[in-house]
Structure 1
Amino acid sequence: MAKRKETSTNTINLEEIREVCGMAFAMDILSGRWKLKILYKLENKTLRFGELKKKIPNITDRMLTLHLQELERDGLVKRTVYAEVPPRVEYSLTDSALLLVPIWDQLNEWGHMHRDRAL
């Protein structure tokens, strides 16, 4: 994911929208092809990187790493590192992310209904 210049019009507009609109803030944090799927796979589970990769086979290692870093930065995923050899890292949902569970359940239900109508 490319980093935007802090002085770009795009960055300034995004910051203003995020401050005013809760929906825009939420969509900015959750946007991306894989983020909701990563969060969904972590629901009620703590998983290691390789386990997540197996549950989302089409995602690249780089994209999974980037999304996990962003989700951690945004307070939705907790990364726990164990001082072992070899190092063990586990990912789980934060309390804030757990509040999204009923929302993505509703989105999943809506998606099935809408897909059935569209086909």
Structure 2
Amino acid sequence: MMQPFGSPSHKASQEEAEEGIARFEEYLVVQRMKEEADRAASSFAGQLSWLGPAERAEVARRYASDHFSQQQRMLCGKFARMRQIRAEYSQHYHTLRQRLAVLTGCFIVMALCLIPLALRIVA
């Protein structure tokens, strides 16, 4: 059965879908970061021609691990800042909506007061 738009269950399922998409996007970002770390590590270890294959593989593994950890720390910092900015803008948006509602109410009251006055002047 289809749920009416705007109903609590519709909003909950929409939030679940958005959460699932966010998790999938996070997974894709992490996979891309791992691939980038592996490429950088292979490139770095490939320049160390005096090392044997096992040593080169160990250097590449450690380099990839360090590179991924550094990227992950930077990404966590960016996500934290993004959440902070989102909260700030949400608060500003809420404040602006409240101001708009007050101004709209004032305009309606003013219009209701001026219409009878204008009708008296015309009559």
**Where on the TM-score scale, by shorter chain, does this alignment land: which range?**
under 0.3
Higher relative contact order (CA 8 A, sep 6+): 1
Structure that is richer in strand per residue: 1
TM-score normalized with structure 1 length: 0.28
TM-score normalized with structure 2 length: 0.27
Structure that is richer in helix per residue: 2
- Which has the larger Rg? 2
